[in-house]
Amino acid sequence: MKPIYKIAAAAVLAALPVTPALAGWRLMPAGEETAVAAGTLKVTPQDDWNRWSKRPIKKGEVWTLDGATLNELYFVVGLAPGETMFRDFRKKEAPLPKLRAGMDLTEIPEFFESSQRIALQTSVFEITSVRPGELAGRSGVRFSFEYAVEGSTLVRKGEAAATLVEDQLYLISFIAPSIHYYDRDLPKAEKIMASATM
């Protein structure tokens, strides 16, 4: 192939939307109970979601409807004391917080916020509400948040449900742009949170 055609072909491919099927995703059909992150937490989606074949951490998993930048569910299953919510790529200059033994439910939103701030490298992150909740039939905490990545004006909003079982963290968070996707897809994410069992 001549260089000019290679450039043109590359431009066409770059212009195509990235779909879950092209990125190593697997369909999670509506109505089927699924174990998450090879752990004890199970959920039953009421809509078709896509599961990323690559896990962000051993005890984590990502699902999406249209692509992770548009709507993302992040599952954390059985995170133990001393472990981090995300892979600690910058542990020398900006280490992620580690889950602490004896952590209280009310401390989970702060742990989540600190983890996200460092992982996203942003100072623009706010927990907007915290309230009692449950996850998989266990007493837990629900919280809402919003943030923007440095250099971007796009605000993303999120909702999370979490609990602790024998000092291990179980969490489901949903994140989407505040424009259109968050309001459209939050009910679908909340159905997944409500379906969780252990």
pLDDT: is 2 or 117 the higher one? 117
| Those residues with Cβ within 8 angstroms of residue 46's Cβ, 6 or more apart along the chain or in another chain | 30, 31, 188, 191, 192, 195
- Alpha-carbon separation of residue 192 from 8, 92, 104, 155, 187 (angstroms): 42, 36, 24, 23, 9
pLDDT of 98 above 50: yes
Q: How far apart are CA 58 and CA 55, in angstroms?
A: 6
Does the structural domain 18-195 have CATH classification 3.40.1000.10?
yes
Question: How high does pLDDT run on average in the chain?
Answer: 88
What pLDDT, on a 0 to 100 scale, did the predictor assign at position 23?
Answer: 54
At 105 the three-state DSSP class reads: helix
Beta-ladder partners of 26: 51
Report how far apart, in Å, the C-alpha atoms of 49 and of each of 11, 44, 57 are: 29, 10, 20
Question: Where do the structural domains in the chain lie, given as residue ranges?
Answer: 18-195
Instruction: Please check whether residue 65 is in contact with residue 49, taking contact to mean a CB–CB distance below 8 angstroms.
Output: yes
* pTM, two decimal places: 0.86
**130: confidence class by pLDDT, cuts 50, 70, 90:** very high
